[in-house]
């Protein structure tokens, strides 16, 4: 850290308001470590989120351009997903701005769980459940007989559990007020955050496995049809692997993390 930055930190600490004076003070080196280890990852995540949002916007434009004759309910779903994703990116940007700009060199502010963070988690949860519900409907349309109802019941339970534990986790975050209280609570870890991640992974795995088995069973003797089915299977597997790895890494990281 440069001398100029150290002076800025010291000036900021010397002029904090009285209620912040009661909080433990951090030296510039410790504050830099806090920002790099915790909010640095958040900044990188926000940048990646913005990049993926650009791809989502392009895909949305191409969809409405090339598939204008699709059913209205599919168009509505695509529109809702894009609008929610737009709100999500806007809130992620504001959240990072709040922590790294508004609360620059303010350890008390950095330790608070701002409402924008909980809202971004809520929007992300709604997006995930919408997509899972869409794929569950595809499983329902592809399956037949008793298998259809067994799969739908199983998938519906896991998706609803994913949503319920996700809402519980968001509520705990907003009620906790601080990251220390949120991450230090064994109740939150065992009753909300960990089940949330587990059911997120489980629902994705079950949906992907169901789609793969059902699509493979619908293969025909036509080369083009089989090629399309193979592409859909690869897409389902890749989507499952990506989301499962992210949630698994998040769960392991959260369960082992202290105050970062």
Considering 110, 145, 161, which residue would you say is the last residue of a domain? Answer: 110
Give the tens place of pLDDT for each residue, 187-219.
Answer: 887 788 888 888 988 888 888 888 888 877 766
Looking at residue 23, the DSSP 8-state letter turns out to be S
Q: What is the pLDDT of residue 176?
A: 86
Closest CA to 128 of 46, 44, 240: 240
- One domain, residues 46 and 84: yes
Does residue 20 fall inside a structural domain? no
What is the domain extent for residue 77? Answer: 27-110
In whole angstroms, what is the distance from residue 260 CA to residue 254 CA?
9
- Of 61, 86, 110, the domain-final residue: 110
The verdict on 164 and 230 lying in the same domain is yes
Q: What is the pLDDT of residue 156?
A: 94
What pLDDT was estimated at residue 209? Answer: 85
For residues 148 and 227, membership in a common domain is answered with yes
Ranges of the chain with pLDDT below 50 = 1, 3-25, 257-260
Q: Are residues 161 and 234 in the same domain?
A: yes
Instruction: Write down the pLDDT at residue 160.
Output: 96
List CB contacts of 34: < 8 A, sequence separation 6 or more: 26, 107, 110, 260
| Domain co-membership, 125 together with 184 | yes
* pTM for the model: 0.76
Domain tally for the chain?
2
Q: Is residue 252 part of a domain?
A: yes
């Amino acid at each position: 850290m440069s001398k100029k930055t150290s002076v800025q930190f010291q000036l900021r600490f010397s002029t904090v308001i009285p209620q912040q004076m009661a909080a433990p003070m951090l030296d510039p080196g410790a504050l830099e470590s806090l920002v790099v280890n915790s909010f640095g990852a958040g900044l990188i995540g926000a940048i990646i989120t913005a990049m993926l949002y650009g791809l989502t916007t392009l895909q949305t434009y191409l969809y409405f351009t090339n598939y204008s004759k699709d059913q209205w309910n599919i168009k509505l779903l695509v529109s809702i997903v894009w609008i929610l994703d737009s709100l999500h990116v806007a809130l992620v940007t504001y959240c990072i701005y709040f922590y790294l700009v508004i609360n620059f060199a303010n350890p008390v502010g950095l330790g608070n769980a701002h409402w924008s963070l909980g809202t971004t988690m809520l929007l992300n949860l709604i997006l995930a459940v919408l997509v899972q519900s869409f794929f569950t409907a595809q499983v329902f349309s592809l399956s037949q007989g008793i298998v259809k109802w067994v799969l739908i019941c199983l998938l519906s339970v896991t998706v609803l559990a994913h949503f319920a534990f996700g809402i519980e986790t968001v509520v705990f975050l907003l009620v906790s007020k601080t990251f220390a209280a949120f991450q230090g609570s064994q109740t939150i870890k065992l009753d909300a955050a960990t089940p949330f991640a587990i059911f997120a992974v489980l629902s994705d795995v079950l949906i992907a496995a169901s789609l793969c088995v059902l699509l493979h069973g619908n293969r025909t003797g036509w080369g083009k049809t089989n090629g399309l089915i193979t592409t859909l299977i690869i897409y389902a597997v890749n989507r499952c692997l990506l989301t499962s790895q992210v949630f698994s890494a998040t769960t392991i990281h959260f369960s082992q993390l202290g105050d970062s």
